[in-house]
Each structure stands twice: as C-alpha cells, then as structure tokens.
Amino acid sequence: MYGSYKGVQMLAGLIFVLIITTLSCSEPASVGNNNGSLFIIGGGSRPAAMVERMISESGLDTGGYAVILPMSSSVPDSAVIWASEQFLEQGMDRIAGFNFQPGEPAPQSWLDSLVNASLIYISGGDQNRFMEIAYGGPVMESIHRAYENGSVIAGTSAGAAVMSEKMITGDELRYPEYRSTYPVIESENLDLAPGLGLLKTAIIDQHFVWRSRHNRLITAVLEHPELPGIGIDESTALIVRGNVAEVVGESQVLVYRNPGASRRVDGKKLGGTDLRLDIYLPGDEFMIE
C-alpha cells in the first residue's frame, strides 16, 4: 500500500508505473499564458480512441508526463493501477500516482510535479472525499497552476464532478439515504458543495443517461438558472477549451438550460417553464455560456 508518501507499490508485475518525485525538474507543459483544457469523462469504460485523444490533447504523445490523483477512491492504490493501464495500453508509461493524505503536509516535490504535468487525471470514487483533501489547499492551488500553464485536467465520474465550481455531491438534503438518481424534483433537496472551480460556468453531472439523472440536473437549473447543467454519459467525454466544448466518445452529452430563470414552488415540488434541452452527439461542439 502507499497510504503515506512512498509512491505506488507495484501490485501487478506487468504494469509499470513511473514514480519519480523529482519530476518537477521537467519543463512544464505550457501554451504561454493561455489556460489548458478540461477532459471531463462521464464514467464507465474509456474507449481506446478516447484515451488516444486524451494523450494527444495533452501532448503526451510527444513528451511530458501524467499524474494520477486517486484520492476519490476508497482503494487508491488500485485506482492508480487501473488508471495507468489505459495509458500503458497506448504505449505511454511516463506516469506518476500521488495519493495525498488528509491532515498530512503535501510533499513539495509532489506539488511541483503536479504544476509541471502535461496531464492530471482524477480517478472516480467519491467527489466529496477528493475535495476534503484538495479544497482550499496546496493540491487545489497546484492543479489550478497546472491548468493556467496549459495542462490538461482530466477526470472520470467523481473526477468529472469536481470540475465544477458548484459541485453535485451525490447526496440529497431531504432524503439522507443515498440514491444513485433523484426520483423527485423538489426544492431545497439538491446538495451542492465547492468543487475545484476549473469550470465556473456550468454544473457537471456524470453517468448521466445510463443512470437517468435528469431529475437531479433539472433541479439544478431550476435552483441555479444562471448555470447550464451538463450531463455526460458513460464512455463519453467533454473537452472544454475556454467556453467551447467538444463531445468525444460513444454516447451523448445533455445540456439543460433555464434561460428565463423560471422557478415555481408548490409545497416541495419544483416547477418551471420554457426550459431548454440540447442533446449533443460525438463530434458536436457547443458554447458554454
């Protein structure tokens, strides 16, 4: 196990994960003063073509390295191995895995490596667990610095949810027992928490079509009409560069908008009119605004 700052213990002999805490000596991935891009994956399997696109988007096909952050996962050592396999299958083995620990100082060499990474990949699991470690501290700051330097910040499932400034936690305020989707559209039920804030102009939801999470995202746009709600299905990703988004993968991305800020309440039930739904297919581009 690598629960403290010792890097990744090898769990499978055929999987090579490169852990070098002096990666900070490498040249940072940079495109001047422009931000990098976000590669937001809705969970599920990741097709080879999607991983190839992630590698090319981050420039890993020509150099640099990737850092995997497994803190969302309850089995972070395995999460690093599983995430590494998708890159190793594409011939990319310059990979580090840093499992930052709650309540412990973050090693400076790890933080420096985050800042200079070409790709930062956030695993699935529980987005609340990840943010408890990252929020407001040096890990979050280093991720932002990497993004500002031109790095690609990627995440799947919980790693997708953390991209928003307003993050869906997965919980319900009115109903404490966890349900994978909302069976109701009610006021004061949506539980939001601060995310990484890499995407300030939308709220992200994931596993969207597969788990039929429409009620949750409809609730979000009724209660936060200033933000579109973006639902990314499994085996599908949204690449965000500035305010332009591109769909890649195998399924769809659904976007709910509430342009008239419509919201009515009858008891607990929420209502609204003239909401807008767009369903985007692989290869489609749209503006996030």
Q: Which residues, at least 6 apart from 167, have a Cβ–Cβ distance to it below 8 Å?
A: 127, 131, 161, 192, 193, 194, 195, 203, 204
Give the residue numbers annotated as catalytic, written as ranges: 157, 207, 234
CB 239 within 8 A of CB 253: no
**DSSP letter at 105?**
P
Beta strands 229-232 and 203-206 are: parallel
Q: Does residue 74 sit in helix, strand or coil?
A: coil
DSSP conformation class of 201: S
E-assigned strands of the chain? 37-41, 66-69, 95-97, 119-122, 152-156, 166-172, 190-194, 203-206, 229-232, 236-241, 244-249, 253-257, 264-266, 269-271, 276-280, 285-287
Cα–Cα distance measured from residue 212 to residue 111, given in angstroms and rounded to the nearest whole number: 37
Token couple for 240: 């965000």
CA gap 127, 107 in Å, rounded: 22
